[in-house]
Structure 1
Amino acid sequence: MTVKVVLATHNAHKVAEFQQIVARTRPDLEVVGYDGPEPVEDGVTFAENALIKARAAAAHTGLAALADDSGICVDVLGGSPGVFSAYWAGQKKDAAANLALLLDQLRDVADPHRTAHFTSTIALVTPDGHESVVSGEWPGRLAHSASGAGGFGYDPIFIPAGQPAGQERTVGELTADEKQAQSHRARAFAALVPLLAGL
């Protein structure tokens, strides 16, 4: 029997990515997009914002709701952009402008100091009010220029750790399957799977 859950986002890229991740481990879950009102994300942590979105989606749809709040955290910037990743260049949520600004800020920073990680925090809120929060991190470093047409957001400048020397690729150069097997969202969802057993 298929169980329907709503993903609390209007971002079609994120919905598609979650559908691919969920299909790998929980094919009985049907992830659908959210078409309700967007709540004000006034939290100052990934967990707070994920819960705000999941609560709103669960209340609006009557379904169990998942919400992901994620971002890129750059060590030399003290963990920024972090929760402000989507708004780094302003309130328009302009992904290209965000990426360009981050590259400009790191223009003179050498490779050893370009370490960063993607963070994904997923909140699960059920219609009866049960709440759970899990997180996943994907370590790596930032390239000096964008490369690859895959993914979205900061993917074209993020080089995941653990790749063979001389064969490193950005997330923008990975296939969708490669990304879904190791991404921060995949890691967070793996932690969430045991909590989905009751749905």
Structure 2
Amino acid sequence: MVFAVIALDVVVASAIVVETGSRVAVARARQSKLVDDVLAMRPRLTNAVVVSDISLQWLELIAGGEGTEFVGLNNLFGAQSVNEKHLHWLYDKKSKGWSGPIPPILLPNGKLDLAEARKLAEEDKKGRPVYLLLLEPASYEWFNELKREFAEIDRQFSHEKIAYDPEMGLFRLKPH
């Protein structure tokens, strides 16, 4: 009987060690190409204004600081995992009377905000670069939306492709 209790204790202790080991092994962060790409762009984004359809909270975490300011591209509900959904929810709350702070957006409801466009143009004139950072669209519908938004942006800015890969593109915006 004593042998059975000792054997059972050994089995339980072994199970605990195995379970702990497997949880520690799973807890290691997986490499993300998107994170690596944004980190590689980070030196260029220093002291810049970045307009993006990527979550502003995520960008602030990965590429924020050092004078980098983020502006939302739109307040539409994005179709991709790191698209800016938070702004959509904040603007929805605002339409229902909420008065909390909301980050600026260049294309609220898909239309160019001329006041925000002027602010971006002023930043560029002061020598502060303005970039547009976009995720590669995951659907044809989102592609068409971004195409339409590029047409809106082109009313006030020209854009030069700085970096592009299968996941995202970085463009320099210059006022006309």
By percentage of residues, which structure has more helix?
2
Q: TM over 0.5: same fold?
A: no
TM-score, normalization by structure 1: 0.27
TM-score, normalization by structure 2: 0.29
Q: Which has the larger radius of gyration?
A: 2
